[in-house]
């Protein structure tokens, strides 16, 4: 084990990285329509049989792109205030959405075509919302918002307008939106909008 | 002009209705992939040349489905309270999203495939948000929320979670969400979240 590149796991991981890079690049450049196991294998420089055996089909490839995206040590922002955390989170979301090449946009579009991709996207977002719950716990700890504030509902309220604006309304980038949507969610939380039975 | 069915406008309108019904039915049953001018023409019982001449291509057909949807006398709910109006609006949105056959879902999916459909969807939503501004004006008139409350931001805050939940997160139907999201927007508005410069 002195040479880490000789580990079987190393080769497998390297092939996975090459293949998933190829999926992202193909998606961003040509969209879902031209995404096939063969174009991905060719771009990755990997034998097509390897791709078929490991990922099965395009849905399997897309699902693994999502799974790889969730397999990180991402932590939500920790700025010292609820508004700061939510605004920073929304800035991250907005930056990912307008990134070029448009990988996130292409992945969302693909999720309307493939059940496997839709399931994987749902799992990734679920994981992200769970990781963000600490933002709300810290705010309760600082007595910024009432105890019992529901983290999930607060987080969806803060982030949904950013997705809605860019993904569904396809409106021009609004630089004020991340902070505005964060502030709206904070004011609603302070007013008790997310406490059970209130 | 004594026989209204003999008017050229009547025949044109009838053909348009047949063709757009066929587009919606094909979309709902088979999705964007099998939507072609030929399948639509066959289903509508209209000559394909007529469809090509008038709508050009699939993008033109989809755009006209959106334009037809906006060409109505829809008015937002008027229940006597801001919360009631927003909750009723969200109920309408949720009902449209879960409707079977899934026409609205299919149209949103198609908007990721066709620029013409995306533009038409944007126009339709823009028109709906403008029509809904009266909800906010009435609430200001009843002194429920501060004068100067921005209608558009309030309306997006109220409705975005419903779209986010069903379209992007593809979460199971949450019967409480329409009223919850409405209530959140009302509390934020009362707290001054949507007044300029606050």
Interface contact flag, B168 A170, Cβ < 8 Å: no
ipTM for the complex shown: 0.88
Could you tell me the pLDDT band of residue B9, with boundaries at 50, 70 and 90?
Answer: low
Chain A residues 94-153 within an 8 A CB cutoff of chain B: 108-109, 112-113, 118, 121-122, 125-126, 153
| Residue B52 three-state SS | helix
Q: Considering CB atoms only, which of A118, A161, A194 is closest to B156?
A: A161
Domains of chain B by start residue, with CATH: 4-69 (1.10.10.60), 73-190 (1.10.357.10)
Are A190 and B191 inside 8 Å of each other by CB? yes
HSE-CB at B62 with a 13 A cutoff on CA atoms is: 31
State which H helix or E strand residue A142 sits in.
Answer: none
* H or E, element range at B109: helix B103-110
Residue A4 has pLDDT above 60, yes or no: no
Lowest mean pLDDT among B54-63, B111-120, B168-177: B111-120
Answer whether A188 sits within 8 Å of B191, measured CB to CB.
yes
Residues B135-157 pLDDT 10s: 999 999 999 999 999 999 999 99
Residues of A in contact with B113 (CB under 8 A): 109
Q: How many CA atoms lie within 13 A of A169 on its CB side?
A: 23
On whether any CB of chain A is under 8 Å from the CB of B191, the answer is: yes
Q: Which among A113, A125, A184 is the nearest to B188, CB-wise?
A: A184
**CA B186/CA B193 separation, integer angstroms:** 10
* pLDDT band for position A179 (cuts 50, 70, 90): very high
For B38-77, the pLDDT digits (tens) are 999 999 999 999 999 999 999 999 999 999 988 889 999 9
- Residue B6: pLDDT band (50, 70, 90) is very low
Chosen from B66, B159, B184, B189 to mutate, greatest number of chain A CBs within 10 A: B184
Task: Indicate whether B21 pLDDT > 60.
Answer: yes
B171 secondary structure, DSSP code? P
Closest CA to A81 of A143, A151, A146, A139: A139
């Amino acid at each position: 084990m002195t040479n880490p590149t000789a580990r079987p796991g190393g080769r497998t991981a390297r092939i996975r990285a090459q293949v998933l890079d190829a999926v992202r690049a193909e998606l961003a450049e040509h969209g879902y329509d031209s995404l096939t196991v063969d174009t991905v294998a060719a771009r990755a420089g990997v034998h097509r049989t390897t791709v078929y055996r490991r990922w099965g089909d395009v849905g399997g490839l897309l699902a693994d792109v999502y799974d790889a995206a969730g397999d990180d040590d991402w932590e939500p922002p920790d700025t010292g205030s609820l508004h700061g955390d939510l605004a920073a989170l929304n800035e991250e979301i907005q930056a990912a959405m307008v990134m070029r090449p448009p990988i996130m946009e292409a992945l969302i579009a693909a999720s309307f075509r493939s059940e496997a991709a839709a399931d994987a996207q749902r799992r990734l977002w679920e994981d992200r919302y769970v990781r963000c719950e600490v933002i709300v716990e810290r705010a309760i700890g600082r007595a910024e918002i009432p105890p019992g504030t529901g983290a999930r509902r607060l987080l969806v309220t803060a982030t949904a307008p950013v997705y809605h604006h860019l993904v569904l309304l396809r409106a021009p980038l609004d630089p004020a939106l991340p902070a505005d949507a964060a502030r709206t969610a904070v004011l609603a939380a302070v007013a008790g909008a997310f406490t059970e039975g209130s």
